[in-house]
Amino acid sequence: MPCLYSAQNRIALLTLDGPPVNSLGLAMRESLMAGLQRAFADPAVDALVLTGANGLFTGGADITEFGKPAGMQAPNLHEIVAAIEASPKPVVAAINGTCMGGGTEVSLGCHYRVAAADAMIGLPEVKLGLLPGGGGTQRLPRAGGVELALKMILGGEPVKAAVLEEAGVLDAVFADAGFVEAACAFAREVVKAGVAAGAPHPRVRDMKIKMADPAPVFAAARADAARKFARFPAPQKCIDAIEAAVTLDIDAGLKREFELFMDLMRTPESAAQRHAFFAERAAGKVNGLPKDTRPRAVNSVAVIGAGTMGGGIALNFLNAGFAVTLVETTQAALERGVANIRKVIEGAVAKGTLTAEKAQARAALLKPTLDFAAIASSDLIIEAVFEEMSVKQSVFEKLDTHAKPGAILASNTSTLDLNRIAQFTQRPQDVIGLHFFSPAHVMKLLEVVRGAATANDVLATAMAIAKKIRKTAVVSGVCDGFIGNRMIEQYARQAMFLLEEGASVEAIDGAVEAFGMAMGPFRMGDLAGNDIGWAIRKRKRAEDPSLVVSRIPDLLCEAGRFGQKTGAGWYDYKPGDRAAHPSPWVAEMLATHRKASGVPQRAIDADEIVDRLILALVNEGAQLLDEGIAQRASDIDMVYLTGYGFPLWRGGPMFHAQQTGLGKVVERMRTFAANPLADSTFWTPAPLLERLAREGKTFDAA
């Protein structure tokens, strides 16, 4: 039984035990309800204590049941709470560790709540675009006040037991050691006191909210949520539900909460957020990797190259407590790199997010050196030198000489062939791609590039390390640009075709930013450096002279307009300011070019701009899936959500296409194919996409 039952000294102990997180799926709820009924009926039991096994109380609802009949099937959380509230025997929630969502709601239905000192308690539903639908929005404000409820329900972050004790939500906090015994002793005291007082045990539903003037508090919360979460409906509905706790009696409030919960369950935003939640978990699973693959031990790290990426990568590992050896070729480059790292660490101290003591300890973990031999004891070595095959070759040959046997040799290359890089060593099985995104200590995404020879345990180690440095790892096969950049190249190409046909830089950026992208293609180019794309285009044209690409971005780069770093790109910039200003120079350049090109000019509306850019991503994504470069469509979504500023509330490009309907997507692509500028292949639907559309299927069937 997932809910264990034992009775001793007139106390029934119910223990939620469903590894890994004791979630409250149907089987657990049935078993919990059976345990409650048994204890209520047993004359040898005076009180009940509810706790969790596996070091935690419960992770909450079983979200694989969301939207499925099992999620609502009796006994649901309301029925469990109702049974507890109706019990004449006191029920004590003994929160022994993490307690989330439905677990917190059940605890609020108990007569008493005690927690272990290290317990973390939260209502994270808002992160899935939902609200606590098991009474949390009605009982938490009654137990701990409206302000606390707003903070916990809108923030979604768990809080420490001490905070809830202070707010009166918890009756007591006990030390972690001997916690369950302490909770049982508490229950015995409660029985004694209850008998003496002759009064019923307290229920949160009977508590009154004391608040002189709630209106301004809710108005402020609404304004704040509108500012912070403009595109998400859940925060506003959370506020509506909490307000119902103030204005309605508990039963009407619970009814209102349920209606609002169901409204949210039907929103596309919640569907997207739930998709992203599952996508993140799925990304951690590597196809073909045996379950028992043991990762290699990684205690020390070396980074080769202290430039933009090397510095950020080193910081990542320092922040996670690893010793980092940083190797450069010249003293000046080394000093520059170290100074950049120090600046970020000191910045964190100045901002108050890091103590001076911790900053010092972190900086002390860094070992800068010009001596390549210093990597000899490193378990993981990450190369981040210039993007040139000859430079990579010389570095990997040196790594092969100096690295100890079994060390993992990783490359941060963005575009070069990892399989060739691996061949520069005598140990291609130890070589892997770890593609970080700039700024590497900030961006969540890490593309883990699996080479043809990469050993399983090297791959498993990379996935484990990603977790330690708090990255979202997505596995990619070897190809030019891997998942993210190969797709963005088609998006950028399409943006240039739009320019050729008469759309302005500002209109294109504005349209996709209104769609929700963090940045349009031109603002992004100016940030990353337009020269990077220029170099790639030159190489591509040399490889395939028939490739149709616009001349416009070359004209920009030939004028030295590389973006923010040169103070001018697609936009103009003022010194010391990152704000993008429309550029008369670019407008003039476009006018001259368009006159000479003879391409018919027309007004292009925002819908067409957005669809052409986003569907360019989708088609290339489908191609990557078909080629097996990406393991699953949701991995592609994770790449775009965590590395390219795709709006979370749309769930990623592949999910967006799926929600639109793959049939409609293909239809739209066919209308774009009539565009005289498109090269003969641009809008040819990827065979996989075409097949799924024809069969009326989704990417899940890929």
For residues 387 and 480, which CB has a smaller minimum distance to ligand NAD in the complex? 387
Enumerate the β-bridge partners of residue 94.
114
Question: Pick the catalytic residue: 30, 65, 79, 125?
Answer: 125
* 385/487 with CB nearer ligand NAD: 385
Task: Give the Å distances, CA to CA, from 243 to 46, 71, 236, 267, 657.
Answer: 37, 26, 11, 21, 37
* Smallest distance from ligand NAD to CB 327, Å: 5
Q: Omega before 20 cis (within 30°)?
A: yes
Catalytic-labelled residue, pool 30, 65, 85, 105: 105
Q: How far apart are CA 418 and CA 137, in angstroms?
A: 52
Contact call for residues 129 and 274 (beta carbons, < 8 A): yes
Nearer to ligand NAD by Cβ, of 256 and 398: the residue is 398
x-or-dash string of contact with ligand NAD, 488-527, rule CB under 6 A: ----------------------------------------
499-502: which pairs have CB atoms within 8 A and are 24 or more residues apart? 499/550, 499/552, 499/590, 500/550, 500/552, 500/594, 500/597, 500/599, 500/677, 501/599, 501/600, 501/601, 501/602, 501/604, 501/675, 501/677, 502/594, 502/601, 502/602, 502/603, 502/604
Structure tokens given for 289: 């990797």
What is the tally of helices (H) and strands (E) in the chain? 29, 19
| Number of neighbouring beta carbons within 10 Å of residue 175 | 10
Question: Encoding tokens for residue 546?
Answer: 């028939």
Dig out the tokens for 196 from the structure. Answer: 């003496």
Residue 422 Cβ, how far from ligand NAD at the closest point, in Å?
A: 15
Could you say whether residue 387 binds ligand NAD (CB under 6 A)?
yes
∠ CA(72), CA(74), CA(80), 5° rounding? 105
DSSP state of 278: H
- x/- mask, ligand NAD, residues 255-294, rule CB under 6 A, reads ----------------------------------------
Q: Would you call 125 a catalytic residue per the annotation?
A: yes
**Does 413 sit near ligand NAD (CB under 6 A)?**
yes
Whose Cβ is closer to ligand NAD: residue 246's or residue 418's? 418
Smaller CB separation from ligand NAD, 433 or 652 = 433
When binding is defined by CB under 6 A, the residue of 192, 343, 364, 386 that contacts ligand NAD is: 386
* Spatial distance between the Cα atoms of 200 and 63, rounded to a whole number of angstroms: 35
Residue written as tokens 């191609």?
Answer: 623
Smallest gap from residue 483 Cβ to ligand NAD (A): 13
Beta carbon nearer to ligand NAD, 327 or 604? 327
Q: Which is nearer to ligand NAD, 150 or 309 (CB)?
A: 309
> Any contact of residue 326 with ligand NAD (CB under 6 A)?
no
Near ligand NAD by CB under 6 A: residue from 153, 304, 434, 460: 304
Pair 563, 523: CB distance under 8 Å: no
Q: Which is nearer to ligand NAD, 395 or 641 (CB)?
A: 395
Applying CB under 6 A, does 391 fall inside the site for ligand NAD? yes
333 lies in the site for ligand NAD, by CB under 6 A:
yes
* Maximum C-alpha span of the chain: 96
Provide the minimum distance between the beta carbon of 240 and ligand NAD in the complex, in angstroms, as a whole number: 43
Q: Using CB under 6 A, pick the residue from 221, 238, 395, 478 that binds ligand NAD.
A: 395
Q: Does 344 bind ligand NAD (CB under 6 A)?
A: no
Of the candidates 52, 122, 233, 305, which one interacts with ligand NAD according to CB under 6 A?
Answer: 305
Residue 307 touches ligand NAD, criterion: CB under 6 A: yes
- Interaction between residue 400 and ligand NAD (CB under 6 A): no
Q: Establish whether 500 is a catalytic residue.
A: no
> How many other C-beta atoms lie within 10 A of the C-beta of residue 679?
14
Piece of the chain touching ligand NAD by CB under 6 A; list 295-303, 350-358, 383-391, 487-495: 383-391
If one asks whether residue 309 binds ligand NAD (CB under 6 A), the answer comes out as: yes
Nearest to 113 by CA among 32, 168, 38: 168
Site size toward ligand NAD (CB under 6 A) is 25
Among the listed ranges 18-26, 258-266, 390-398, 606-614, the one in contact with ligand NAD (CB under 6 A) is 390-398
CB of 414 to ligand NAD, least distance (A): 4
Does 403 participate in binding ligand NAD (rule CB under 6 A)?
A: no
CB of 372 to ligand NAD, least distance (A): 7
Range list of H helices, 304-411: 308-319, 331-351, 356-364, 389-402
Q: Which of 310, 433, 451, 533 binds ligand NAD (CB under 6 A)?
A: 310
Give the contact letters, 528-557, x = binds to ligand NAD (CB under 6 A), - = no.
x-----------------------------
| 500 C-beta neighbours (distance < 10 Å), count | 17
Q: Which residues of 141-153 are buried (b: 16+ CB within 10 A; e: fewer)?
A: bbbbbbebbbbbb
Cα 458–chain centre separation: 24
Beta carbon of residue 348, minimum distance to ligand NAD (angstroms, whole number) = 21
Least distance in Å: CB of 304 to ligand NAD? Answer: 5
Contact 306, 328 (CB under 8 A): yes
Which span sits near ligand NAD by CB under 6 A: 214-222, 430-438, 489-497, 540-548? Answer: 430-438
Residue 414 interacts with ligand NAD (CB under 6 A): yes or no: yes
Q: How far is the CB of 555 from ligand NAD (least distance, A)?
A: 23
How many residues in total does the chain contain?
A: 702
Minimum CB separation of residue 338 from ligand NAD in Å reads 11
Residue of 325, 412, 461, 564 that binds ligand NAD (CB under 6 A): 412
Residues 6+ apart with CB under 8 A from 413: 383, 387, 392, 421, 433, 435
* Using rule CB under 6 A, residue 329 touches ligand NAD: yes
431 near ligand NAD, judged by CB under 6 A:
no
In terms of DSSP bridges, do strands 581-582 and 571-572 run parallel, antiparallel, or are they unpaired? antiparallel
Q: Which of 328, 489, 526, 620 binds ligand NAD (CB under 6 A)?
A: 328
Cβ proximity to ligand NAD, 240 vs 328, nearer residue: 328
Give the CA dihedral 523, 528, 532, 534, nearest 10 degrees: 10
Q: Does 385 bind ligand NAD (CB under 6 A)?
A: yes
Q: Which is nearer to ligand NAD, 412 or 583 (CB)?
A: 412
CA distance 512 to 616: 13
Residue 37, CA distances (Å) to 77, 86, 329 in order: 15, 11, 72
State how beta strands 380-383 and 408-411 pair: parallel
Catalytic residue numbers read 105, 125
Binding residues for ligand NAD, per CB under 6 A?
Answer: 304-310, 327-329, 333, 384-387, 391, 394-395, 412-414, 436-438, 528
